[in-house]
Amino acid sequence: MIVCSCAQVSDRELRAAVKAAVKAGKPVNFRSVYRQMGKRARCGNCRPLVNPIIKQAHTGA
- Give 35: exposed, middle or buried? Use CB within 10 Å, 0-12, 13-18, 19+: middle
pLDDT at res. 59: 87
Q: How far apart are the first and last CA of the chain?
A: 20
Yes or no: say if 4 and 50 are a contact pair by the CB < 8 Å rule.
Answer: yes
- Mean pLDDT split into 10-residue runs, the chain, 61 residues: 95 95 93 93 94 91 57
Position 61 scores a pLDDT of 57
Judge whether 51 and 14 are in contact, CB under 8 Å: no
Query: Whole-prediction pTM value?
Result: 0.87
pLDDT (0 to 100) of residue 60: 79
What CA–CA distance (Å, rounded) separates 27 from 17? Answer: 11
